[in-house]
Amino acid sequence: MKTKKKGLNTICTHVGELEDSLFKGAVSPLYMSTSYAFEDVDIKRYPRYFNTPNQMALSQKIAALEHAEEAMIFGSGMAAISTALLAFLQVGDHVVLQRMLYGGTYHLITEQFEKFGIEYTFIDGSDPGSFKKAIRPTTRVVYIETPSNPLLTITDIKAFADIARENNIVSMIDNTFASPVNQNPIDLGIDVVIHSATKYMGGHSDILAGAVACSASHMERIFNLAKNLGGSLSDYTVWLLERSIKTMGIRVKAQNENAQKLAEWLNRHPDIRKVYYPGLEHHPDHEIAKKQMHGFGGMMSFELQEQIDASLFQKSLKLIKSSMSLAGVESTVLSPTQTSHALLSPEEREKQGIRDGLIRFSVGIEEVQDLMDDIEQAMRAVRKKGVTAHSH
């Protein structure tokens, strides 16, 4: 008889728990040892082999959340991304990537892959046909990111996964912006799911981690490289991440609700030129997002009208923080041109539609009205300073 699948918040809270058999504590015990016995044991445990008790338990939780056979955790999102890609690529191979990617991923490809003799092609992620055209006999991997950073474009996951499977190509996705709460790409045919666990899994802006989820056979290849690259995570951080994931379901749902209300409000605001959020009906990919996501996420971007100085606006915010990362319980903003996509050339940013006035907004769990009030007072402050500057 098939076991009934547990609900999201139950998985977040209970799957992959370690039992405290000694003292019967309610939470997983933390095993800090970096050295374990090797005689008469089932598993020879070693932190760099991703198999300490806390590492293995957390991996089970992430696998369950992503409906995968196995998962592995890494020291950062970039450690997860680079290891997953290089596990399936070698000299003479070719990879097709969506152009709209996290700046760090784009920089990894353009700066490092030629050194490894790996060829790459960037394509328009909104068009599965461009992927078909880019395939070569040496293509081994296709890599997408949806929703994308920072313009929240949506890629049709199933369409890309189907083409990859038909051509015997490994499909990978960066699922960070959606989180497993809003999107489960393995159900849509994707082979390898990658996360910066620093973001929604951590959720409190105090953990640096990455994660990969996939089949057991694909994980074997990833593990064989990962143990040599050494991107493992300390058990204390593993324990903190397991604790944080317990509330991920309720945190992300609250962020979804807040983001939808704020996107609709900003979309009507006279000082806002454009809002990028897949939950808005006018978003070009709204229908695809509706089809493949369970919620539209807590991330959005918006462009201010030209007369509003973007830098001054961010400095004038009092509740919303100007901050480099995203997905914490606190709302944050940043300028992609100065942070996440600063390594891209101005020409490449222009090609991707990332303008200097663009602001990426990571919506937290605060009361929506308080966030609206903060944006409104910042707009007033910028307008006032603008008037004062013109009057002198």
**Set 45, 61, 199, 251: catalytic member:** 199
- Determine whether 174 is an active site residue: yes
199 is catalytic: yes
The DSSP H or E segment spanning 213 is strand 210-214
What is d(CA 155, CA 292) in angstroms, rounded to the nearest whole number? 10
Decide: residue 232, CB within 10 A, 0-12 exposed, 13-18 middle, 19+ buried.
buried
CB-based contact 336:302 (threshold 8 Å): no
- Number of C-beta neighbours around residue 276 at 10 A: 23
Q: For residues 111 and 93, give the distance between their C-alpha atoms in angstroms, rounded to a whole number.
A: 16
Please state whether the peptide bond connecting residue 270 to the residue before it is cis, i.e. omega within 30 degrees of 0.
no
Residue 42 falls in the annotated catalytic set: no
Burial of 68 (0-12, 13-18, 19+ CB in 10 A): buried
CB burial readout 154-179, b (16+ within 10 A) else e: bbbbbbbbebbeeeebbbbbbbbbbb
Contacts of 94 (CB under 8 A, 6+ apart): 118, 119, 120, 121, 136, 138, 139, 140
| Strand-strand pairing, 210-214 and 70-74 | antiparallel
Q: Looking at 93, 156, 174, 235, which residue is catalytic?
A: 174
Does residue 102 carry a catalytic annotation? yes
Q: Find the catalytic residue in 102, 120, 200, 277.
A: 102
Residue 276 pairs in a beta bridge with 301
Tell me which of 31, 48, 243, 261 is the catalytic residue: 48
For the annotated catalytic residues, the residue numbers are: 48, 102, 174, 199
